[in-house]
Amino acid sequence: MFRKGLMLLLTVCLAVSGAYAKKKPYKVGAVFAITGPASWLGEPERNTVQMIAEQVNREGGINGHPLELIIEDTAGDETRTVNAVNKLINKDKVLAIVGPSRSGTTLAVVPIVERAKVPLISCAAAEAIVSPPEKRKWVFKTPQKDSDAVIRIYEHMKKHGITKIAIITGTTGFGAQGRKQLKKYAPKFGIEIVADETYGPRDTDMTPQLTRIKASGAQAVVNWSIVPAQSIVPKNMRQLGMTIPLYQSHGFGNIKYVKAAGEAAEGIIFPCGRLLIAEQLPDDHPQKKVLVEYKRAYEKKFKEPVSTFGGHAYDALWLVINALKEVGPDRAKIRDYIEHVKGFVGTGGIFNFSPEDHNGLTKDAFAILTVKNGKFALLED
Amino acid sequence: MSASALLQLLFSGVTVGSIYALTALGFNLIYNATGIINFAQGEFVMLGGMTAAWLAGMGLPLWFSFVVSVALVAALGASFERLCIHPLRSPQILSLIMITIAGSILFRGAAMFLWGKQTVYLKAFSGERPIRFLGAALHPQTLWVLGTALVITICLHLFLRYTLLGKAMRACASNRTAARLTGIPVDRIVLLSFTLSAGIGAAGGVVVTPITLMDYQQGTLLGLKGFSAAVLGGLGNPNGAVAAGLMIGALESLSAGLISSHYKDAVALVALLAVLCFRPEGIWGTTTQR
């Protein structure tokens, strides 16, 4: 009920703000996990697209057409996502869809958008979303690849002479996917995994696993998971007196996890987009302007620290808006336009799409960050 | 595996186990007074932790946040009983349990709207510096959790055994009608048990938050593990609950350290099932005890 009320309110707001323009609104769908266990993804994404839509409409819309966002909550659930996407396509007749937030929910709707021929720009990471390219004609994604995160970590390790590592991963989809990639790429970098531990999504103490890792003679630990384990593992390591470096996944990209881990967060190394350290980038960095503007606007409006996840929605919606500006309200033309975008500067990196690559990012989209004095700091660009 | 590593695993088990034990205590109290399982117990724990973290986050002293959070949640427990449990004309165990489940969903949702979905944290009461003992490290907060569990268990024991009110509470559990005939104000006893167990849950929530961190969904899992401990220890037996909580914790940690972390939860659950197969009343429970 509440959700419907919200949506009604939003539609009314948009209708009122769009009343000045006589031209027909451009309808774009957004499906995010706004509630439920993945809400830490969906909420900043929803906030971001709302903020962009307000801005676009305030500035006169897209070529005079107001942008009408229709936002659906998936609660992170596959069935609800399928229903939401069907509704957006058949009832609302949207021109394109931004989202979903999770890899599983995205894969669930890929066949639907392929059949209905509606462009979908996912905010989820799994590589299967955009491969194989010949079966993903209408699907794009904005987050960087998991495997690139692993590669950046291994490159950093190699440079610092680390060859024996321990991995500890959550049993969630994200953790399991990371574990797979970590094991797959280790031999290519001459890295040996001497301990492989896992933990449940709600575990509150990882000292047993870390005790084993301590005894394994590993030179570094990689933890791949989502909250709150990302704050607990460093705390437990400190408790056990472990001083070997801790690497975490790009999921660590939210300053709240650093605060939760306290002093134990100091020195954690992780690959991440450049959004969190936007202000520290040199002024001539191509992404700096976009990142700083988005970060300031978001933090001012929502009074909470920006996260990379909202950034994925930022990139996705702007791709759609740019396409609408150029080619107008035609689904096929929007798709063709996005497929040939080159040098689009987003929050996740600089996108160069092609018919074979519907992600458009390379491993250079990740920088290596660390935690210094309770703040994120750039370690290696 | 070296002796110090083994000790470390035991310490981890104690840390986690003491959290389960503390949650289990609240289940017992309401069960003792009403004969029902309060499935909102985990939510009381969560609310305690969230409220304290919220107050401490506003710069209030830790002890003050602790006291206020326990008082607030106890008041919530009392109003929950008055508004949802008390008005029922013919209370049946099943419908009462359903109400507590509804309550847990309501509290979870309310916490989400009040404090959002982010994980909150609270400073450890006496620092983060681990206590070293024979090569193993113990988080100082564990001692706070254990101490709190111990104090609460002793107080509860004394209260239920030796005070008139405590005896009245036990009388209600064994036979409501008979208790009422002897002049015990049954509905007020039930109110008291909800208030107390909400307060105990909240106290537990505050002391565990520095270790576990807290978010609006954490209550479900804490409630589940606490419930397992309460059942394993024998429902209605506070001492058994503490022992069983520690046992489950130790079992989880030892199986993660010695066998494999992939099967940690499975080992603990299989052990739980096995015990319940042979002693359905729990290790320290008796079929007649209430």
From the list B19, B117, B137, the residue facing A239 with the nearest CB is B137
Supply the pLDDT for residue A46: 96
List the beta bridge partners of residue A35: none
Q: How confident is the model at residue A257 (pLDDT cuts 50, 70, 90)?
A: confident
Q: Kindly identify which residue of chain A lies nearest to residue B208, measuring between CA atoms.
A: A204
B264 touches chain A (CB under 8 A): yes
From the list B128, B215, B253, the residue facing A208 with the nearest CB is B253
- CA pair distance A169, A320, nearest whole angstrom: 35
Are A259 and B8 inside 8 Å of each other by CB?
no
Read off the pLDDT of each residue in A251-265 and give the average, rounded to a whole number: 85
List, for residues A265-315, the tens digit of each pLDDT value: 999 999 999 999 998 999 999 999 999 999 999 999 999 888 889 999 999
**CATH superfamily of the domain spanning A146-272:** Response regulator (3.40.50.2300)
From the list B13, B117, B265, the residue facing A40 with the nearest CB is B117
Supply the pLDDT for residue A325: 94
Q: How confident is the model at residue A15 (pLDDT cuts 50, 70, 90)?
A: low
Strand order of the β-sheet with A26-32 is A67-73, A26-32, A96-98, A120-122, A139-141
List, for residues A329-362, the tens digit of each pLDDT value: 999 999 999 999 999 999 999 999 999 999 999 9
For residue A64, pLDDT beyond 60: yes
Read off the pLDDT of each residue in A231-257 and give the average, rounded to a whole number: 89
Read off the pLDDT of each residue in B155-180 and give the average, rounded to a whole number: 87
Q: Which residues of B touch A198 (CB under 8 A)?
A: 261-262
Fold type of domain A2-144+290-364? Rossmann fold (3.40.50)
Alpha helices in chain A (DSSP H): 2-17, 39-58, 78-90, 103-116, 146-159, 173-185, 207-216, 229-239, 255-261, 288-302, 308-327, 331-339
Query: Is-contact B236 B278, C-beta < 8 A?
Result: no
Read off the pLDDT of each residue in B11-33 and give the average, rounded to a whole number: 86
Assembly ipTM: 0.73
The residue behind tokens 């590592």 is: A165
CA dist B111 → A39, A66, A156, A158, A322 (Å): 14, 37, 41, 45, 40
Query: Is-contact A175 A169, C-beta < 8 A?
Result: yes
Q: Which residues of B touch A260 (CB under 8 A)?
A: 119-121, 213
Higher pLDDT, B102 or A13: B102
Are A209 and B261 inside 8 Å of each other by CB?
yes
From the list B5, B130, B213, the residue facing A211 with the nearest CB is B5
For residue B169, pLDDT beyond 90: no
Q: Which residues of A touch B213 (CB under 8 A)?
A: 204, 228, 231-232, 260
CA dist A284 → A40, A278, A287, A378, B54 (Å): 32, 12, 9, 16, 41
Are A204 and B12 inside 8 Å of each other by CB?
no
Residues contacting residue A174 through CB under 8 Å, at least 6 positions apart: A125, A224, A225, A226, A249, A251
Supply the pLDDT for residue B119: 82
Higher pLDDT, A232 or B119: A232
Supply the pLDDT for residue B258: 85
Q: Kindly identify which residue of chain B lies nearest to residue A212, measuring between CA atoms.
A: B257
Are A202 and B19 inside 8 Å of each other by CB?
no
User: Is residue B13 within a helix (H) or strand (E), and if so which, with residue range?
Assistant: helix B3-34
Q: Kindly identify which residue of chain B lies nearest to residue A43, measuring between CA atoms.
A: B117
Supply the pLDDT for residue A127: 82
Q: Kindly identify which residue of chain A lies nearest to residue B17, measuring between CA atoms.
A: A205
Read off the pLDDT of each residue in A25-39 and give the average, rounded to a whole number: 89
Whole-number average pLDDT of chain B: 87
For residue B290, pLDDT beyond 60: no
Q: Where in chain A is the domain with CATH 3.40.50.2300?
A: 2-144+290-364, 146-272
List, for residues B215-270, the tens digit of each pLDDT value: 888 888 888 888 889 988 888 788 888 899 999 999 988 888 888 878 877 877 88
Are A202 and B218 inside 8 Å of each other by CB?
yes
Supply the pLDDT for residue B86: 86
Supply the pLDDT for residue B123: 85
Q: How confident is the model at residue A7 (pLDDT cuts 50, 70, 90)?
A: low
Supply the pLDDT for residue B289: 45
Q: How confident is the model at residue A87 (pLDDT cuts 50, 70, 90)?
A: very high
- Give how far A226 is from chain B: nearest CA, Å: 11
Q: How many CB pairs under 8 A join A and B?
A: 91
List, for residues A92-125, the tens digit of each pLDDT value: 999 999 989 988 899 999 999 999 999 999 999 8
Supply the pLDDT for residue B261: 79
Supply the pLDDT for residue B265: 78
Are B12 and A264 inside 8 Å of each other by CB?
no
- CA pair distance A189, B204, nearest whole angstrom: 47
For residue A205, pLDDT beyond 90: no
Domain boundaries, chain B: 17-126+137-278
Are A202 and B221 inside 8 Å of each other by CB?
yes
Share of chain B above pLDDT 70, in %: 98
Q: Which residues of B touch A259 (CB under 8 A)?
A: 121
Are B8 and A240 inside 8 Å of each other by CB?
yes
Least confident of A169-173, A336-340, A365-369, B79-83: A169-173
A172 touches chain B (CB under 8 A): no
Are B12 and A208 inside 8 Å of each other by CB?
yes
How many CB atoms neighbour CB A117 within 10 A? 12
For residue A10, pLDDT beyond 80: no
How many CB atoms neighbour CB A380 within 10 A? 14
Supply the pLDDT for residue A9: 56
From the list B137, B252, B261, the residue facing A240 with the nearest CB is B137
- CA pair distance B58, A66, nearest whole angstrom: 42
User: DSSP letter string over B228-245?
Assistant: HHHHHH-TT-HHHHHHHH
Q: How confident is the model at residue A5 (pLDDT cuts 50, 70, 90)?
A: low
